Amino acid sequence: MRLEDSPLHHPAGGPPPRPGEDTEIAYAKINLALHVRARRADGFHDLETVFAFVDAGDELRIAPADGDSLTLTGEFGTILADGDNIVAQALSRLPHGPGWAVSLDKRLPVAAGLGGGSADAGAVFRLVERLHGLPDGWQALAAALGADVPACVHSRAMLGHGTGTHLHAVANDLARTPVLLVNPRVPLPTGPVFRGWDGIDRGPLPSGDLRTIAREGRNDLEPGAIALVPQIADVLDWLHRSGAWLVRMSGSGATCFALYDTVEQRDAAKVPEGWWHLAGTLR
């Protein structure tokens, strides 16, 4: 099965199939809004969210090999263990010939609300799709790796329901919007943040175009995340003073994002020393 057979597919870009080395960007995921509706009996939560993706992230580079291998580089590569890395897990579940030698340049912080691992897995799916085609039922394989992985395979703006794996297309009127990601360099595992949700259902996502949904939405995990990492509040406060029209924490944190009307406004925001940041545009 090929991604273009999916009603949610948009061309992922990248070079055409060719022998030898190939590359793919694992695009940073942000949640423009994340509404937590209920705790489920299986321990997960029912969500309504808006996925969006930045035009930058980790980079995967592959070359044909007799077997699979994974090399980790980049600022955050030393944090990960290559044996149980989600890239290795994705490779083990997808047909891709005798093997791939994979180099993962880990540029996105870990446990940061950017879907970094899920984005890496999504890039593997796109590489397999481009070079071999994806098997029927690839969506279930992706969801088994993580709730964000199916959205990260597409890496385009879309709505997510359930645990985030039920995806719906949305008209993307925010493509090419300048965005700034900022993280206080404090890792924040997802589990404790969800356990800190207060259990109050504050209602569904608003309706309208993507800009309206983003403006009028919220992230129900922000209070719990700030209780665990107070520096998030400092990042949000600084971003609110940077001229952005939307500021919010992404996912379960600790990364926050700001959307701007112009690239000049985004680039005029001088991020305080010590914080990780990434400037880009929405895909």
CATH number of 3-281: 3.30.230.10
Cα(67)–Cα(215) distance, integer angstroms:
47
Residues annotated as catalytic are 29, 148
For residues 159 and 49, the answer to whether their CB atoms sit within 8 Å is yes
Domain ranges in the chain?
Answer: 3-281
pLDDT tens per residue, range 61-106: 999 999 999 999 999 998 876 556 899 999 999 999 899 999 999 9
pLDDT at 16: 46
For residues 146 and 117, the answer to whether their CB atoms sit within 8 Å is yes
User: Residue 214 pLDDT more than 60?
Assistant: yes
pTM for this predicted structure? 0.91
Quick one: which of 160, 175, 178, 179 has its CA closest to 10? 175
Q: How confident is the model at residue 20 (pLDDT cuts 50, 70, 90)?
A: low
Q: How confident is the model at residue 14 (pLDDT cuts 50, 70, 90)?
A: very low
For residues 228 and 184, the answer to whether their CB atoms sit within 8 Å is no
Quick one: which of 196, 250, 192 has its CA closest to 34? 250
pLDDT tens per residue, range 157-211: 999 999 999 999 999 999 999 999 999 999 999 999 999 999 999 999 999 999 9
